[in-house]
């Protein structure tokens, strides 16, 4: 099986795809998205990557798949896997097919859930809470712009059984497309899921890291992987390192319907570019799917600025406290009370990345960059309060101040950027289901 890159639209060398196809593959796949970029794409319905970038990748993959008569399978279409993301990806496929005169059967698998389904599951006690996630109730469901369920491999296998040449799915477990193909071919769940865990990120298990293609062979008890680009290679260390990623446990990977355990995995070099992995196990569990939902949190405006003033930097905590006080007073004069907005000032060069968790407290940077952010119930209020914060940063006094002009340098004009709607995760739970196909309708289209 082949994976072209970590996410559809990230790009890959065409020569790497050609090299992979020359080796022989039973499937071309790519993961289309992730929650890594946050809730915006799920809430807004916008795609993570541009249509132009996705179309480029899709065209190369679709042409190769049709030429070699192998299925093209894509999970979490459009970045978040909701209905608008799935539709946008399907429209690109239709456009490429029409342009190239390609004929095939397209399957689209829905993952977006209606509110009645989720509320029924809540009432029946079939909702579980994920670590760090909110308790799911009917009010959270109603506030959500959309909710998706993360499908396992079964809907992919069903679509392929239905004669699909191209499968586009909504939100799905990242490894599920490849796990489905391997299990459908008769392999056991353990190596099938492990292969998917590696393929979901393209050539990331290889070194040097880059957006590129990965070729994986699955057998009854092992997986062999090798990047198709000769400038990259898989080593036991690089593959073992990658197997730890994106998971609370280094060895226990919870998936729909079971747990992949990599505790006893062996990583053996086949040659200087390929690695054989064995020893993984699979333990079936009651079937659950993850639910993800996003709700509107307000509207955001930001501004970026910086200072090199050593006296301001020396008294930065007091300076920023005075900014918050000044903004509160000025906003009140506009009829905006303190609970009517949120002001955040991130200080890059000091603790902008880790915030209050920053362990290095005695650093004395020569310059600091600030990202000023205001979130409010409407864009007009966010714009107005941000402008107050920006001018306060620019002109507020501080002890020992020598410069009587502005405190900050602003790299852009206009300095204020209205970012539009802000979303937050409102649903981050699991839902027990009896039928792994039921929440995920499959639609076929002959092009």
Residues 6+ apart with CB under 8 A from 160: 71, 73, 167, 180, 181, 184
Structure tokens at 164: 């699909």
pLDDT digits (tens, 9 = 90+) for 68-78: 999 999 999 99
Preceding omega of 208 cis (within 30 degrees of 0):
yes
3-state secondary structure 314-369: HCHHHHHHHHHHHHHHHHHHCCCCHHHCEEEEEEECCCCCCHHHCCCCCCCCCCEE
- The 3-state DSSP class for residue 225 equals strand
Identify the pLDDT of residue 113: 98
How do residues 190-212 score in pLDDT, each as one tens digit? Answer: 999 999 999 999 999 999 999 99
- Gap between the Cα atoms of 387 and 384, Å rounded: 5
d(CA 11, CA 59): 11
| Rounded distance between C-alpha atoms, residue 338 and residue 344, angstroms | 13
Residues in the chain predicted with pLDDT less than 70, given as ranges, are none
pLDDT at 247: 80
Percent of the chain with pLDDT over 90: 95
CA distance 155 to 86: 15
Instruction: Give residue 135's pLDDT.
Output: 86
Please give the C-alpha separations between residue 145 and each of 287, 294, 295, 402, in angstroms, as whole numbers: 26, 6, 5, 50
- What is the distance, to the nearest Å, from the Cα of residue 33 to the centroid of all Cα atoms in its chain? 5
- The pLDDT, as a whole number, for residue 404 is 83
Give the position of tokens 């109730």.
Answer: 137
Q: Which two tokens stand for residue 211?
A: 């957006």
Q: Is the peptide bond before 414 cis (omega within 30 degrees of 0)?
A: yes
Q: SS3 for 307?
A: strand
Residues contacting 411, CB < 8 A, separation 6+:
304, 305, 306
The per-residue pLDDT for range 296-307, each reduced to its tens digit, is 999 999 999 999
Q: Which residues, at least 6 apart from 439, have a Cβ–Cβ distance to it below 8 Å?
A: 111, 113, 117, 149, 151, 289, 431, 433
The reported pLDDT for the residue numbered 339 is 96
DSSP summary character for residue 46: -
**Percent of the chain whose predicted confidence (pLDDT) is above 70:** 100
Provide the pLDDT for residue 250: 87
């Amino acid at each position: 099986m082949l994976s072209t890159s970590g996410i559809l639209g990230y790009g890959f060398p065409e020569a790497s795809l050609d090299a992979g196809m020359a080796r022989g593959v039973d499937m071309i796949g790519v993961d289309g998205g992730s929650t890594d970029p946050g809730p915006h794409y799920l809430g807004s319905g916008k795609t993570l990557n541009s249509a132009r970038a996705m179309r480029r990748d899709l065209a190369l993959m679709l042409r190769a798949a049709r030429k070699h008569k192998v299925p093209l399978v894509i999970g979490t279409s459009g970045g978040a896997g909701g209905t608008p993301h799935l539709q946008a990806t399907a429209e690109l496929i239709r456009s490429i097919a029409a342009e190239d005169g390609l004929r095939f059967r397209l399957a689209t698998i829905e993952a977006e859930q209606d509110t009645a389904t989720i509320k029924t599951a809540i009432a029946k006690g079939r909702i579980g809470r994920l670590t760090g996630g909110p308790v799911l109730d009917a009010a959270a469901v109603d506030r959500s712009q959309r909710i998706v369920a993360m499908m396992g491999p079964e809907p992919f296998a069903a679509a392929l059984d239905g004669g699909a040449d191209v499968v586009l799915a909504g939100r799905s477990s990242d490894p599920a497309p490849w796990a489905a193909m391997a299990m459908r071919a008769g392999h056991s769940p353990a190596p099938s899921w492990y292969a998917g865990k590696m393929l979901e990120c393209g050539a990331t298990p290889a070194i040097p890291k880059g957006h590129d293609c990965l070729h994986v062979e699955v057998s009854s008890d092992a997986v062999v992987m090798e990047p198709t680009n000769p400038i990259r290679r898989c080593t036991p260390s690089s593959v073992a390192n990658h197997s730890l990623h994106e998971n609370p446990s280094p060895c226990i990977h919870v998936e729909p319907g079971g747990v992949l355990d990599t505790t006893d995995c062996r990583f053996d070099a086949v040659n200087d570019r390929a690695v054989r992995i064995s020893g993984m196990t699979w333990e079936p569990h009651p079937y659950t799917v993850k639910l993800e939902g996003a709700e509107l949190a307000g509207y955001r405006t930001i501004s970026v600025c910086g200072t090199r003033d050593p006296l301001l930097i020396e008294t930065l905590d007091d300076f920023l406290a005075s900014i918050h006080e000044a903004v509160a007073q000025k906003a009140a004069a506009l009829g905006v009370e303190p609970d009517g907005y949120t002001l955040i000032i991130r200080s890059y060069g000091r603790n902008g990345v880790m915030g209050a968790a920053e362990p290095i407290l005695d650093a004395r940077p020569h310059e600091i960059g600030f990202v000023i952010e205001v979130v409010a119930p409407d864009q007009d209020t966010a714009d107005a309060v941000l402008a107050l914060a920006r001018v306060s940063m620019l002109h507020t006094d501080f002890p020992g101040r020598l410069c009587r002009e502005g405190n900050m340098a602003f790299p852009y004009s206009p300095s204020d950027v209205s970012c539009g709607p802000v979303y937050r995760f409102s649903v981050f739970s699991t839902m027990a289901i009896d039928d792994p196909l039921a929440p995920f309708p499959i639609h076929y289209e002959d092009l």
